[in-house]
């Protein structure tokens, strides 16, 4: 009995001692936590989980027009997944139906019942990474995150939406695609095309690094940033989207009418050399036109009669001729092995001045240049060198083709026909941009500018690099010669080959060109005649603002430069003139408001009110909404609210292109513009549901 009591005593004593030891351990751990901090314990636990360093891809900068309208932008897409196993059972039962109804409303390709079955099955099978939707926009992502269950977040609602894909998009579709270009790193080789390729170092930004940790549902971002990303800078181009739209649509219209193989157009600012518009279109087997090659600066071809301006400038500068000298335009000009004919069926124009011969584009220039330089053809080439015609322009964009000029003494290329041929624009290969730059120098009183495509580089709205106009030749010829050449170019439009190209409000100066294209196998004597029609000049003639070149290759209906290319030039000049307020100083002067109230396009409130204030037009009443409709009744203007529903296609009729594109793109869709002016049609009717990534064609007139 005494032994049994002693056993109980020792057992109680052991329990007591064990309890004391446990209390000491707990106390020790508490002291460790207090003095060393909870962070070390957490770090210890984290170290047992796999971690990795991953790159954070920066968003590339935008490519903008001169008015900061996006031409190339970056759009984020997200893959939406779900871990249904983490959702509380009660929440899951009560809110799953509402979640599925919301998903079906956003994405009606599946019914609410289908979503319901998929999510419930995934929960039962322990699927912690169920795909809900691929490639949703950020706007859609926000809407999904606000749905029942998902609004509880990742830990309680199972929403997994952090997988982002960034893609480059052009809001204006194919327009300018070759000039805007792309950058492609293929590993072994890097392909740089257009603005995107040339300015990639600015656009790309700098990648960051962060730590991810592997948990049961996959790799999770820890929020620990090792290196911050630097977003790409924005490139502000010199392009004017409004001028570009006019140029593109007019070129496409004429190419279709003429059933031409291809064509290009360039509009340049005379004083600065900045390119305002550039378009290159090629016909496919279905008769549609798209941008495939950059003919404007990457392809050389014979310029034909437009080169006669360079021939005339050279002969005048070398004092070989005077524009008042008489020549006999007999219509056919014979040289050993070749006869050149005038375009009027070889009838000629009789005895005329050299100025008149230029205006009529007579091929008597083959004789003029041959007679002037036959004893010293090197002098002719030397003069062209001084004009800057025989070398590349050195533009910032990749892919500029090198001009080709045959030279005396070359075993291949130079012949006794070379000099007269070059006098009228054959045996010479140039890009349209190189030829336009020469004409632009004449318009600029002899000052040659470097063609440029980019004005500024911006980061976070601040200019970090500015591209100023660059003078490449302060005076390509004497001021006297420039004045004579300007009078000749104006004469072409008044009484020469360009007289049918009319403008009621201003004068145009320019030169037509009709070149016979060389057949690679049969030469120029081929029965299959292919022509290149061109027109290059500037406007207004007396105070030039823009220079422009239009080149149309292999037209099937007409073929002369005036009819085919000059028509496009005239249309562009007139429409650009009509859109450019700097031409119309009278409307900016202080004067009483007209008795007639003008019609107002539907659009943004601030823009409309600003214009009404400028033109001193009073609106009897207006709504304070961001978007307004102008209603004109009995010479009274009323501005009312334009109904905008973010889930429905808006009514774009009567709006300008800028506002229409903004509204469509803000809804996650892509706008494709056709024409110019105000919106007269839209491919998807107003009130239709918005669908992300969809394309809506907008017709303007």
Burial label for 161, CB within 10 Å (0-12, 13-18, 19+), is: buried
Distance CA 106, CA 141 (A): 11
pLDDT at residue 245 above 50?
yes
- Render 122-167 in DSSP notation, one character per residue: HHHHT-S-EEEEEEEEHHHHHHHHTSTTGGGHHHHH-EEEEEEEEE
Task: Provide mean pLDDT across the span 263-275.
Answer: 97
pLDDT at residue 527 above 60?
no
Buried b (16+ CB within 10 A) or exposed e, 626-645: ebbbbeeeeeebbbeebeee
Task: Provide mean pLDDT across the span 676-696.
Answer: 78
Q: What share of the chain is helix, strand, coil (3-state, %, to 5)?
A: 35, 30, 35
pLDDT at residue 345 above 90?
no
Class of domain 54-182+201-237: alpha beta
Q: Which of 77, 72, 71, 74 is nearest to 59 (CA)?
A: 74
Measured from the Cβ of residue 435, the count of other Cβ atoms closer than 10 Å reads 27
**What pLDDT is stored for residue 219 in this prediction?**
60
Q: How many CA atoms, within 13 angstroms, populate the side-chain half-sphere of residue 120?
A: 12
Write the pLDDT tens digit of every residue in 538-562.
999 999 999 999 999 999 999 888 9
- 272, 443 Cβ separation under 8 angstroms: no
Which residues are paired to 629 by β-bridges? 640
Write the pLDDT tens digit of every residue in 418-467.
999 999 999 999 999 999 999 999 999 999 999 999 999 999 889 999 99
Q: Could you tell me which CATH number the domain at 645-701 has?
A: 3.30.10.20
Q: 3-class SS at 639?
A: strand
**What pLDDT is stored for residue 623 in this prediction?**
54
Domain residue ranges in the chain: 2-48, 54-182+201-237, 241-581, 588-642, 645-701
Buried b (16+ CB within 10 A) or exposed e, 262-297: bbbbbbbbbebbbbbbbbbbbbeeeeebebeebbbb
- 618, 635 Cβ separation under 8 angstroms: no
Write the DSSP symbol of residue 520: T
For the domain made up of 241-581, give the CATH fold. Beta-lactamase (3.40.710)
Confidence of residue 38 (pLDDT cuts 50, 70, 90): very low
Would you state the structure tokens that stand for residue 43, as one six-digit string?
A: 């770090």
Distance CA 242, CA 644 (A): 25
Q: Which of 161-170, 414-423, 624-633 has the highest mean pLDDT?
A: 414-423
Which residues are paired to 274 by β-bridges? 452
**What pLDDT is stored for residue 310 in this prediction?**
98
Q: 3-class SS at 307?
A: helix
**What pLDDT is stored for residue 44 in this prediction?**
36
Distance CA 182, CA 646 (A): 32
Would you state the structure tokens that stand for residue 238, as one six-digit string?
A: 């010199």
Distance CA 315, CA 310 (A): 9
- 62, 73 Cβ separation under 8 angstroms: yes
Q: 3-class SS at 248?
A: helix
pLDDT at residue 509 above 60?
yes
pLDDT at residue 644 above 90?
no
pLDDT at residue 41 above 50?
no
> Which phi and psi angles does 338 have, rounded to 5°?
-160, 140
pTM for this prediction: 0.73
Q: Return the percentage of the chain with pLDDT > 70, whole number.
A: 84
94-108, 184-198, 574-588: range with lowest mean pLDDT:
574-588
Q: Which residue has the tokens 């080439």?
A: 381
**What pLDDT is stored for residue 647 in this prediction?**
80
- Render 103-121 in DSSP notation, one character per residue: HHHH-TTS-HHHHHHHHHH
- Render 377-433 in DSSP notation, one character per residue: HHHHHHHHHHHT-SS----SSS-PPPPEE--TT-SSS--TTHHHHHHTT-SEEB-HH
């Amino acid at each position: 009995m005494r032994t049994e009591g002693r056993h109980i005593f020792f057992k109680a004593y052991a329990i007591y001692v064990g309890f004391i030891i446990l209390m000491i351990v707990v106390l020790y751990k508490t002291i460790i936590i207090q003095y060393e901090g909870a962070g070390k314990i957490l770090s210890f636990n984290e170290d047992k989980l796999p971690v990795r360093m991953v790159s954070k891809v920066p968003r590339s900068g935008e490519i903008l027009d001169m008015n900061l309208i996006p031409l190339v932008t970056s759009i984020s897409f997200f893959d939406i997944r779900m871990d249904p196993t983490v959702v509380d059972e009660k929440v899951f039962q009560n809110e799953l139906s509402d979640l599925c109804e919301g998903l079906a409303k956003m994405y009606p390709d599946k019914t609410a019942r289908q979503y319901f079955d998929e999510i419930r099955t995934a929960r039962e099978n322990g699927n912690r990474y169920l795909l809900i939707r691929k490639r949703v926009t950020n706007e859609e992502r926000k809407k999904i995150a606000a749905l029942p269950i998902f609004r509880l977040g990742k830990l309680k609602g199972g929403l997994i939406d952090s997988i982002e894909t960034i893609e480059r998009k052009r809001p204006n579709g194919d327009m300018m695609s070759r000039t805007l270009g792309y950058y492609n790193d293929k590993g072994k080789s890097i392909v740089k095309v257009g603005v995107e390729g040339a300015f990639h170092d600015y656009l790309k930004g700098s990648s960051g690094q962060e730590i991810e940790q592997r948990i049961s549902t996959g790799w999770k971002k820890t929020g620990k940033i090792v290196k911050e990303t630097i977003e790409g800078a924005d490139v502000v181009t010199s392009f004017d989207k409004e001028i570009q739209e006019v140029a593109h649509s007019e070129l496409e219209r004429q190419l279709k009418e003429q059933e031409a193989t291809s064509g290009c157009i360039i509009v340049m600012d005379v004083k600065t050399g900045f390119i305002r518009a550039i378009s290159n279109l090629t016909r496919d087997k279905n008769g549609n036109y798209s941008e495939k090659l950059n003919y404007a600066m990457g392809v050389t071809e014979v310029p034909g009669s437009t080169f006669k301006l360079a021939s005339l400038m050279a002969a005048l500068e070398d004092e070989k001729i005077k524009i008042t000298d008489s020549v006999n335009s007999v219509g056919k000009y014979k040289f050993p092995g070749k006869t050149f004919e005038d375009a009027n069926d070889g009838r000629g124009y009789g005895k005329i001045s050299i100025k008149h011969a230029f205006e009529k584009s007579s091929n008597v220039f083959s004789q003029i240049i041959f007679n002037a330089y036959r004893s010293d053809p090197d002098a002719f080439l030397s003069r062209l060198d001084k004009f800057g015609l025989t070398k590349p322009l050195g533009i910032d964009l990749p892919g500029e083709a090198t001009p080709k000029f045959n030279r005396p003494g070359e075993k291949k290329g130079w012949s006794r026909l070379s000099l007269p041929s070059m006098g009228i624009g054959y045996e010479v290969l140039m890009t349209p941009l190189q030829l336009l730059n020469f004409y632009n120098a004449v318009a600029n009183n002899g000052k040659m500018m470097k063609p440029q495509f980019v004005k500024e580089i911006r980061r976070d709205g601040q200019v970090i690099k500015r591209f100023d106009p660059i003078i490449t030749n302060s005076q390509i010829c004497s001021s006297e010669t420039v004045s004579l050449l300007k009078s000749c170019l104006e004469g072409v439009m008044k009484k020469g080959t360009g007289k049918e190209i009319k403008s009621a409000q201003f004068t145009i100066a320019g030169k037509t060109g009709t070149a016979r294209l060389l057949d690679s196998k049969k030469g120029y004597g081929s029965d299959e005649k292919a022509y290149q029609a061109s027109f290059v000049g500037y406007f207004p003639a007396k105070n030039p603002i823009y220079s422009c070149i239009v080149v149309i290759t292999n037209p099937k209906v007409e073929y002369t430069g005036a009819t085919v290319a000059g028509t496009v030039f005239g249309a562009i000049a007139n429409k650009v003139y009509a859109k450019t307020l700097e031409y119309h100083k009278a409307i900016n002067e202080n004067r009483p408001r007209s008795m007639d109230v003008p019609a107002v396009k539907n659009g943004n409130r601030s823009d409309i009110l600003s214009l009404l204030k400028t033109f001193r037009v009073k609106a009897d009443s207006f709504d304070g909404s961001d978007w307004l409709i102008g209603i004109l009744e009995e010479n009274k203007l009323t501005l009312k609210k334009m109904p905008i529903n973010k889930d429905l296609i808006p009514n774009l009729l009567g709006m300008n292109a800028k506002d229409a594109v903004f509204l469509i793109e803000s809804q996650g869709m892509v706008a494709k513009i056709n024409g110019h002016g105000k919106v007269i049609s839209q491919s998807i009717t107003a009130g239709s549901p918005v669908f992300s990534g969809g394309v809506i064609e907008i017709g303007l007139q």
